Amino acid sequence: MAWQGDRGTRHQRGYGHRWVKLRDTILQRDGHLCIPCLHNGRPTPAKQVDHITPKSQGGTDEHDNLQSICVDCHKAKTASEAAVIRDALRAEGKPSIGDDGWVTLPTKWGYSIPHGLRPSAIPVTIICGPPASGKTTYAHEHAAPTDKIIDLDEITQRIGGKMWETDRAIIRRALSYRDVMIRSLADAHTGAAWFIVTGKTAQERKTWLQALGEKARLVVMDTPKAVCIERILAEPRRADAARSQILAVDKWQ
């Protein structure tokens, strides 16, 4: 799915040269016809490619999760997916009726943990550490191709921001998107998930483990703080966020 507003370049959203080649492959596979339209018995030319399971719900770029689609169907599907996200966010923090008929109040975990988060139904590894400690690299080195990786920096690029974004409005949207991905783990059936979060204190890390349930495990990066700061200063793309990231390294416990 796609967010509206300032979405950035295709490359920033993960749709660079690799995506162009992948899109052409899928269009050729589907005969340049819109798959949703074909299901409704009306052949329609397609120029776009869509994720059947949105990336916000753990969808991947695997061929079986991609379909050719026309502009009208793509817009309608994007609007429907956006509505699902809005409904999920509205439901956050609302009481529910349990199986025993009693009213259940959602848990207020604190930190940046979504209100009322349910335990993950699949194994999830929580990767914590200060900025530039190697959390994202660790996730991609250990995750299987079909696993879900929940990384705020990658999500920020997906919605049109930049790596290590500083715009608060974009970060808020990315956090909402991330929360939907985290919530979806409670209804997942296959694979595993890798969740990247700073988790600057031992108590915060412990709380994330409690919130995500028995199938969660914790990995804490032990990269020395001096190495993290050196990496931050050596990466030009971190320039705008360097000061705040170095402060975060200093405060990490």
For range 83-91, the mean pLDDT: 66
Q: Are residues 128 and 235 in the same domain?
A: yes
pLDDT of residue 60: 81
Q: Which domain holds residue 25?
A: 17-90
157: part of which helix (H) or strand (E)? helix 152-158
In the predicted structure, residue 198 carries a pLDDT above the cut 90: yes
User: What is the tally of structural domains in the chain?
Assistant: 2
Q: 194 Cβ partners below 8 Å, 6+ apart?
A: 124, 125, 127, 139, 142, 143, 147, 148, 149, 150
In the predicted structure, residue 249 carries a pLDDT above the cut 70: yes
- What percent of the chain shows pLDDT beyond 90? 50
Q: 223 Cβ partners below 8 Å, 6+ apart?
A: 129, 130, 132, 133, 134
pLDDT of residue 146: 87
Task: Identify the residue with better confidence: 81 or 61.
Answer: 61
For residue 161, give the nearest of 5, 54, 12 by alpha carbon: 12
Q: Are residues 51 and 169 in the same domain?
A: no
Phi-psi region of 4 (alpha: psi -120 to 50; beta: other; left: phi over 0): beta
Looking at the DSSP assignment, which residues form a beta bridge with residue 96?
104
Q: How confident is the model at residue 246 (pLDDT cuts 50, 70, 90)?
A: very high
> What integer best gives the mean pLDDT of the chain?
85
Q: Are residues 143 and 221 in the same domain?
A: yes
Q: Are residues 68 and 140 in the same domain?
A: no
For range 130-156, the mean pLDDT: 93
pLDDT in tens, 33-76: 999 998 888 899 999 999 988 876 667 888 988 999 999 998 88
For range 79-86, the mean pLDDT: 73
Distance CA 114, CA 138 (A): 24
